[in-house]
Amino acid sequence: MSDPTWYFWLAVVVILAFIDLVVILNLSRSSAGHSAKLAWSLAIVLLPVIGLIAWGFAGPRGMPNPPSSPEQSK
């Protein structure tokens, strides 16, 4: 259990899981449709490395516009 390669791969998995979580949270806030969000989320979860690379190149861009209200402009 004290093999350094075991710790290396554990660190890789933990970092990859954290990046997946951040990307999925970012994806949930995007302006893409629900089916696109679901498809990207499944791709990222089922194929973590390939899904992240594909999302980086072809994923939805931009955030939805925030609601405008007179209260926010004060």
Q: Can you give the pLDDT of all 74 residues of the chain as single tens digits?
A: 568 888 999 999 999 999 999 888 888 888 888 898 899 889 888 988 888 888 888 877 665 566 666 665 55
> What pLDDT, on the 0 to 100 scale, is given for residue 72?
59
d(CA 20, CA 42): 11
Q: Tell me which residue has tokens 């302006």.
A: 31
In this prediction, residue 55 carries a pLDDT of 82
Question: Which residue has 């194929």 as its token pair?
Answer: 47
pTM above 0.85, yes or no: no
